[in-house]
Amino acid sequence: MNHLLRKATGASLALGLPALLMGNAAWAQDASPAESAAEAAAEALGAAADVVAETAQAVAAVATEPSLSAGDTAWMLTSSVLVLMMLVPGIALFYAGMVRKKNVLSVLMQSVFGAGILSVLWVAVGYSIAFSEGNPFFGGLSKAMLAGIGPETLSGTIPEYVFVMFQMTFAIITPVIILGGPADRMKFSAAMVFLSFWLVLVYAPIAHMVWGPGGYLGGDGVLDFAGGTVVHINSGVAALVASIMIGKRSGYGVENMAPHNLSLTMVGASLLWVGWFGFNAGSALSAGASAGVSMINTHVATAAAIVSWSLAEWMVRGKPSLLGAASGAIAGLVVITPACGFVTVSGALIMGLIVGPVCFWAVSGLKAALGYDDALDVWGVHGIGGILGAILTGVFAVAAIGGEGKSGLIDGNPGQLILQVEGVLLTLVWSGVISAVLLKVIDMTIGLRVSKEVETDGLDFALHGERIHD
């Protein structure tokens, strides 16, 4: 904004200059001194008035056409870095610690290669589908290969390239989250093909619906500050579908499939927590009040969920576990994601306290009852936690935090709840159906699942030719 203002000032001065000089010139001729002086003054002042009017316009323009803010840009650059860290090495380690040792490298490889291929696709078409004009469900291809964007193109107060980058980090972590469901038994090639199509056919459209120009859900008024719907429900349901369609791990329920090294999982969860501030507070797209409230809400909900999950486990199972605490942290982060810029700190605290026991039940009671093998509990944590978050956003949002019109049940707007449910359902159906179709097609062509022998030997050597030699 600064430089527009300065431009305006500069212009007014520049315009004022000839007027003043003209005034001088008039005096120099002398005729009727007072008159001509007055005339000159009048002229000068008239010119000055014009200048002022112009400046006023320029200032008004500043309000509607924002300029680059170095502070906001600094924070968004940082946020992009933080969200990338959630994927490599964050979620990669979170997952790697929970699988058996023979599959560790394969899990890590999914994150690294996934980050590569999905980034390329995002730049090629994903960003355009999500964030260019189109219909309420899909954007167009006008920004394919980032057409029309240059270093000086702004998106709000930050370079659009930074916005593209920030959104890219969301777009590449979301598909990879899914792979926790069919972990330990999915072909690497099948997984990468699936993620690629899923990015284009599921992630980008849902992002468009929620955040894109003219998006269906955003237009309806569904609230999703940082991606509870777009990221967590979306990936959660896809993971559930994938887990069911690919079938259980061989030996499931019989063999010991204890997490091989929860230190890795703890490090991964920590980096997810740390990086999630980029995710949530970064979604404010600026370094101001909204980022501040998003950050503290994110932290408080996470802390509360650690405590509530651990206490629930302590009571039910007799011991509080590190995996429980780490899972609680993720559940808290998931639940607050759609809400962080809309709720009070107390609201965030309550949401965190609720999500802990709910997700603990989802990964133990619910999962056991239904019998699917969602290996790393993506549905139980991201799916259930995401749905809870979407709905509780409709409860706890208050206009005093999120601004005009961002009110939930407790702020006298029960209708928001219905909107939130609409968002949840549309996402469940869209992601669930398309994921199922994609998986079916892949299964019929290259096949989804590794052979039993490969599963027994471990994916690290069989698929990637490498082993951990420890």
CA 98 to chain centre: 24
Q: Exactly one of 186, 217, 246, 269 binds a copy of itself (CB under 8 A); which one? A: 269
Binders of a copy of itself among residues 228 to 267 (CB under 8 A) are 258-264, 266-267
Q: How far apart, in whole angstroms, are the C-alpha atoms of residue 26 and residue 19?
A: 11
Instruction: Report if residue 367 touches other proteins, rule: CB under 8 A.
Output: yes
Q: What is the CB-side half-sphere exposure of residue 466 using CA atoms within 13 A?
A: 9
Nearest to 239 by CA among 189, 198, 280: 198
Runs of H (alpha helix) within 122-261: 127-131, 160-178, 188-198, 204-211, 216-220, 234-246
Q: Exactly one of 240, 281, 312, 388 binds a copy of itself (CB under 8 A); which one? A: 281
Cα-based distances in Å from 189 to 109, 248, 374: 11, 19, 20
Binders of a copy of itself among residues 388 to 417 (CB under 8 A) are 400-401
Binding part of the chain for a copy of itself, among 143-151, 214-222, 384-392, 425-433 by CB under 8 A, reads 143-151
Q: How far apart, in whole angstroms, are the C-alpha atoms of residue 386 and residue 350?
A: 15
Instruction: Report if residue 187 touches a copy of itself, rule: CB under 8 A.
Output: no
Contact (CB, 8 A) for 337 and 229: no
25: enclosing H helix or E strand: helix 2-29
Binding part of the chain for other proteins, among 138-146, 173-181, 277-285, 362-370 by CB under 8 A, reads 362-370
- Residue 176's contacts (CB-CB under 8 Å, 6 or more residues apart) are 87, 91, 110, 111, 114, 115, 118, 195
Instruction: Report if residue 359 touches a copy of itself, rule: CB under 8 A.
Output: no
Q: How far apart, in whole angstroms, are the C-alpha atoms of residue 138 and residue 287?
A: 30
| Minimum distance of a copy of itself from residue 425's CB (angstroms) | 31
The residue (of 143 and 367) whose beta carbon lies closer to other proteins is 367
DSSP 246-279: H-PPTTTTTS----S-HHHHHHHHHHHHHHHHHH
Q: Convert residues 135-174 into a mask of x (bound to other proteins by CB under 8 A) and - (unbound).
A: ----------------------------------------
| Minimum distance of a copy of itself from residue 420's CB (angstroms) | 22
Instruction: Report if residue 377 touches other proteins, rule: CB under 8 A.
Output: yes
Which of other proteins, a copy of itself, none lies near 254, with the C-beta cut-off 5 to 8 A by kind?
other proteins
Instruction: Report if residue 461 touches other proteins, rule: CB under 8 A.
Output: yes
| Minimum distance of other proteins from residue 460's CB (angstroms) | 10
Q: Exactly one of 32, 64, 465, 470 binds other proteins (CB under 8 A); which one? A: 465
Binding part of the chain for other proteins, among 210-218, 297-305, 323-331, 440-448 by CB under 8 A, reads 323-331
Binders of a copy of itself among residues 188 to 207 (CB under 8 A) are 188
φ/ψ bin of 66: left (φ > 0), alpha (ψ from -120 to 50), beta (otherwise): beta
